[in-house]
């Protein structure tokens, strides 16, 4: 049993077809910002991408060279592995219908190569609602597959609440957790991190970065409870938050020195192949973090780089918004102006 309320379930299809701009849009930050002036001489660049899935792709996507260059220049790329990585799905019917996710190890490797993401510079969260779509065996197979590929995973209960990652001169702690589950919570317990209490997270890092799977799907503005959780995490020492699960781009907020990117949308389509255009907008959230003595671990600057997932036969083509033209570019830019001040 999932932990979604009935009202949420009933609203899923209408909001999928027409993502909502309703809600409180006040108090958010621009798409790009600089927190330190003059900028530090030494920084570490973190690039956060959205959900990765094979549901809308039968083969690897095509990525615009600008997107590949942006991701290739990052010291570390962080994303959410929305689909279990299995050789053969156990939930056969659900996988065919798209309600249960699955992708092959080969597809993931080819998709990362197409996006210019090196395995040794990648961290993937497994703390999401779909990670047990193929059962406990599929979960174990996913963990093993990421290890074979040389990809670091976060959000596993067995690894503790915060996983340390050395990024250049910085010691970064990543705390990934999910508030949602598509199966009984007893299956998630002991396997997937579901804790959001930063007071109990270990300290001693230059930067603690939270990667939550939170909020309601297909809504551009976060719920009040999501914003309250972001404020609590910021007050407990989390310096950077990059969220998933909404499947649409959501705004950025600055809470003191903490920067929150509430939702990055999908990096690769996680829903039906013929998805309406607002759900095809994704964002790459780039944060430059100071590696200087005295300001080590502070976010110096950030920027959201929006792109569109265009349908191209049996796969998707990822294109920066600025590379589009015509009516589609105008529609996307108007929506982005409604989300980002």
Domains recognised in the chain with CATH numbers: 36-339 (3.60.21.10)
More confident residue, 222 or 275: 222
pLDDT at 1: 65
Question: 10 Å Cβ neighbour count for 276?
Answer: 13
Computed on alpha carbons and rounded to an integer, the radius of gyration of the chain in Å comes to 18
pLDDT at 256 over 90: yes
pLDDT band per the 50, 70, 90 thresholds, residue 271: confident
Averaged pLDDT for residues 301-326 = 94
More confident residue, 179 or 196: 179
pLDDT at 157: 96
pLDDT at 262 over 80: yes
pLDDT band per the 50, 70, 90 thresholds, residue 273: low
User: Per mean pLDDT, which range of 190-199, 270-279, 289-298 is the poorest?
Assistant: 270-279
Q: What percent of the chain has pLDDT over 90?
A: 82
pLDDT at 198 over 90: no
pLDDT at 18 over 90: yes
Q: Is 278 exposed, middle or buried, given 0-12, 13-18 or 19+ CB atoms closer than 10 A?
A: buried
pLDDT at 213 over 80: yes
Averaged pLDDT for residues 83-100 = 89
Instruction: Tell me how far apart the alpha carbons of residues 120 and 127 are, in angstroms, rounded to a whole number.
Output: 20
Instruction: Tell me how far apart the alpha carbons of residues 50 and 18 are, in angstroms, rounded to a whole number.
Output: 20
pLDDT averaged over every residue in the chain:
94
What is the side-by-side order of every strand in the sheet holding 258-261?
163-167, 170-178, 207-213, 240-242, 258-261, 252-255
Averaged pLDDT for residues 78-92 = 94
Averaged pLDDT for residues 306-324 = 94
Contacts of 88 (CB under 8 A, 6+ apart): none
pLDDT band per the 50, 70, 90 thresholds, residue 61: very high
Averaged pLDDT for residues 84-103 = 89
């Amino acid at each position: 049993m999932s932990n979604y309320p009935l009202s949420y379930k009933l609203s899923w299809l209408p909001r999928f077809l027409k993502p909502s701009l309703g809600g409180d849009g006040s108090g958010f930050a621009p798409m790009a910002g600089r927190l330190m002036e003059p900028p530090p001489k030494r920084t570490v660049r973190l690039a956060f991408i959205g959900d990765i899935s094979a549901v809308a792709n039968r083969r690897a996507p095509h990525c615009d060279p600008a997107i590949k260059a942006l991701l290739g220049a990052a010291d570390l790329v962080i994303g959410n592995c929305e689909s279990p990585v299995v050789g053969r799905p156990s939930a056969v019917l659900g996988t065919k219908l798209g309600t249960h996710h699955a992708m092959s190890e080969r597809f993931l490797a080819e998709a990362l190569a197409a996006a210019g993401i090196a395995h040794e510079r990648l961290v993937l969260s497994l703390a999401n609602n779909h990670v047990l779509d193929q059962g406990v065996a599929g979960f174990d197979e996913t963990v093993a597959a990421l290890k074979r590929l040389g990809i670091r995973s976060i959000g596993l209960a067995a690894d503790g609440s915060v996983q340390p990652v050395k990024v250049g001169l910085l010691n970064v702690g990543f705390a990934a957790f999910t508030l949602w589950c598509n199966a009984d919570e007893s299956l998630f317990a002991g396997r997937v991190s579901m804790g959001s209490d930063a007071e109990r997270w270990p300290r001693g890092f230059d930067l603690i970065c939270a990667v939550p799977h939170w909020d309601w799907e297909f809504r551009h503005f976060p719920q009040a409870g999501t914003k309250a959780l972001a404020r609590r995490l910021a007050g407990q020492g989390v310096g950077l938050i990059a969220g998933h699960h909404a499947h649409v781009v959501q705004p950025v907020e600055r809470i003191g020195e903490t920067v929150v990117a509430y939702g990055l949308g999908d990096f690769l389509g996680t829903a039906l192949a013929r998805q309406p255009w607002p759900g095809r907008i994704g964002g790459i959230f780039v944060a430059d973090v100071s590696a200087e003595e005295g300001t080590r671990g502070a976010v110096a600057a950030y920027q959201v780089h929006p792109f569109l997932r265009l349908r191209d036969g049996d796969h998707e083509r990822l294109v920066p918004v600025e590379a589009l033209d015509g009516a589609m570019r105008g529609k996307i830019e108007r929506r982005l102006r409604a989300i980002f001040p």
